[in-house]
Amino acid sequence: MKPLVQKYGGTSVASTERIEAVADRIVAAQIAGHPMVVVVSAMGDTTDDLLALARRITAEPPARELDMLLTAGERISMSLLSIALQARGRPAISFTGSQSGIITDGRHADAKILDVRGDRIRAALAAGRIVIVAGFQGVSAEREVTTLGRGGSDTTAVALAAALEAERCEIYTDVDGVYTADPRVVPQAVKLARIDYDAMLELASHGARVLHPRSVEVARRFGVPLHVRSSFNDSPGTVVEPMERIETDVVRGIACDAEVATLVVSGLPAGPGGAAEILAAVGRAGIRTLLLLQAPAPSGGELAILLQEADLERAEAALRPLLALPGTQVRTDAQVAAVSVVGHAIHSHPGTAGLILSALEGVRVEWISGSAICVTCVVPRAEAHRAMAQLHARLGLEGASPPPV
């Protein structure tokens, strides 16, 4: 039988009691016959607590040592889970990212997985053991400990599932699946029994926190079936799978990223040079632009950038030397949110943009931008929840879910 990969997030392993509950769940899956590989995050707020210790020493801890520090978190949760499984009479063994053969590039705090060797995992599975793997971490070719960035444990789990040709990868979290919108914001939101990789990727990229976007990318690339479930109940959850297996609704869900900001540079030189230099400077500062809009204007070009609110200050600092030209001005707004509508062919579907804008009646839409399967509206942060509720109601999402499988 093919192995099953399960991933448990920080909330699911936040205490020894929760770890014991997870152990019971793993034993049940093993009894059902699966060779088991389990990826864990650090317990509860451990990662934040460790980060706070480092920040008490210096505002900018070096990334290499920060990775060394933070990887202590999964080391604790994985060994405790292995201890709990062995206390239940199940042979288990825990492996760090390095021991698991999670080979990454050398970019600390944001490393990318280059290869998954997994020899020790395969040997342990062949010996009948439940294998516990530290999420979020790997090792570079230079034998340096690396981390994959926030949410990286999802990526670890999917990459392992791909390398081990697992039957599927189950992501256990504190919500019981993927919803048409955040149910805390839109009470009418409906759980999706199924969603395809592309729509899931858009939802995850635009603020739906249930899965990390990179994990969805890896799952799509290697065709790993993903199953999002709650570790707190036995609700069936949501299956993320290739497109062909499911019907193609135009609209699949609504996501909101409330921690964004806009930065608009106006009065740029007429040629393309001005905007290109601005973007190059932003890139050099390591800042990811979420949306870009460049419009010509009579008084010089205007460039609008949507970025993470946390990056705004650094972006302004990076641009300061470039803005000495007379007439060049920068406006920023840290009080915005990006509300995204995700679904297949949404952008090309006749009338979708019009439908969205009319659904947003009464909301000040500052910016609208569409990709093939996603339309993002930048709105004042205070109006974001109302925007989501109106979109959810007017786009017919309340009856969106196919029946559970």
Name the site residues for a second copy (rule: CB under 8 A): 16, 19-20, 50, 53-54, 56-58, 61-62, 64-66, 68-69, 71-73, 75-76, 78-80, 82-84, 86-87, 92-94, 96, 99, 120, 143, 145
Nearer to a second copy (CB atom), residue 60 or residue 244: 60
CB of 100 to a second copy, least distance (A): 12
Give CA–CA dist 11/42, Å, rounded: 9
CB of 48 to a second copy, least distance (A): 14
Nearer to a second copy (CB atom), residue 92 or residue 388: 92
CB of 102 to a second copy, least distance (A): 15
Nearer to a second copy (CB atom), residue 96 or residue 104: 96
Given a contact cutoff of 8 angstroms between Cβ atoms, the answer to whether 218 and 159 are in contact is yes
Nearer to a second copy (CB atom), residue 61 or residue 149: 61
Residue with tokens 């969205």: 356
CB of 360 to a second copy, least distance (A): 46
Given a contact cutoff of 8 angstroms between Cβ atoms, the answer to whether 399 and 190 are in contact is yes
Nearer to a second copy (CB atom), residue 42 or residue 374: 42
Residue 119's alpha-carbon distances to 155, 182, 221, in angstroms, are 19, 40, 22
CB of 258 to a second copy, least distance (A): 31
E-state strands within 60-153: 92-95, 102-104, 113-116, 130-134, 137-140, 145-147
Buried b (16+ CB within 10 A) or exposed e, 342-357: bbbebbeeeebbebbe
Nearer to a second copy (CB atom), residue 132 or residue 282: 132
E-state strands within 234-287: 238-241, 253-268
CB of 286 to a second copy, least distance (A): 19
Instruction: Give 126's contacts (C-beta < 8 A, 6+ positions apart).
Output: none
- Residue 287 DSSP SS3: coil
